[in-house]
Amino acid sequence: MSYIGYKPVQGNVVVDEFTSNGIDSTYTLSSQPTNNNTVEVVVGGLTQTSSAYSFSGDVLTLAGVASGTKIIVRQHGEKLLIPTPGDDTVGLNQLSATGTPSASVVLKGDNSWGTIEGSEITTVGTTFSNYNTISGNTTITTSSTKNMFLMGEIAVADTYTWTIAGNGVLQII
């Protein structure tokens, strides 16, 4: 008996329908199954066991089907494809960040608004990020194969010195 009404809509289920011509035994699916165990093959209203068919990529092989028989292939558990938002479609109101945005704070990796805490350069030869104060006599040696850059304000505390040595390049922005 045929179905009367709208075709049921199922989320994340890829459905392919074919009608056998009695000659061909291969059917090309609209997508390659991610796993043979998530595929349901129905021939003439009867669900088939996995020994009755095989897959090679997106091609189903199913032999011995009489002409005019309806074949339905359902791929369950397919990945939900969520498109990338378009340009200028996501604003501050769509973010779930905590804190208050302003010109003096940044959105940090933990999804909160805040300032970037700095570290102090205290160990010779060590590379630090997000530092803002030099609180000891410090020498940074750059090699000829590595260049370094610093961005923002850096204070040299008290009477300490900061020496840049080596053959590399240190760019302060």
pLDDT at 19: 94
Distance of CA 97 to the CA centre of its chain: 20
pLDDT at 120: 47
pTM of the model: 0.42
pLDDT at 35: 75
164 φ/ψ angles, rounded to the nearest 5 degrees: -105, 120
pLDDT at 65: 92
pLDDT in tens, 141-169: 776 666 677 766 777 778 888 777 777 77
Query: What separation in angstroms does the CA of 125 have from each of 93, 109, 117, 118, 119?
Result: 44, 27, 21, 18, 15
Where do the structural domains in the chain lie, given as residue ranges? 14-75, 116-173
